[in-house]
Amino acid sequence: MLTRKGKYGLKALMHLSHLPAGQLEFVSDIAAENRIPKKFLDAILGELRNAGFVQSRKGKDGGYRLAKPASEIKVGHVIRVLDGPLAPLPCASQTRYERCDDCDESTCEVRRLMLEVRHALASVLDNRSLAEMRDAANDDLNEQLLRSAASV
């Protein structure tokens, strides 16, 4: 399950993806617009900065911006940084594999299913960029506006 930390991190990155290239945004503005507690967002943005997703500048003209184009930031990578492995069980994880003490991995039906779940999640999240998320949301909004205009 995606934690609040992961969700808020994605929301903050989406917010930054809407800004013109190079423009900085204050953390307080990101927090207020996305209804994220500022103190929590400060910590999340620190992790995202350490992972190379965002850049920050201090001071009156400071703030945050994406460190690279939104098209180069994959959702799966962001989630792993903030929430850890995608796999529901450690024995199904590719990044933090741990052998289970209570089963034989070669015959464990639970592990087999969790590997399938992990692969399905990774298939979607590792192939979706922030830009694709942003553009899909914009397409949905434009479609809703067109429908509203047509019904008037």
> Tell me: the pLDDT tens digits for 112-122?
999 999 999 99
Do residues 82 and 11 make contact, with C-beta atoms less than 8 angstroms apart? no
pLDDT the model gives residue 104 = 86
Looking at residue 56, its pLDDT comes to 95
Domains and CATH numbers, the chain: 4-151 (1.10.10.10)
Residue 7 has pLDDT above 80, yes or no: yes
Angle at which helices 109-125 and 75-83 cross, to 10°: 120
Question: Does the pLDDT at position 45 exceed 90?
Answer: yes
Q: What is the pLDDT of residues 55-68, one digit of tens each?
A: 999 988 889 999 99
Residues 119 and 127: beta-carbon distance below 8 Å: no
CB count within 10 Å of CB 4 equals: 13
88-111 average pLDDT score: 87
More confident residue, 93 or 5: 5
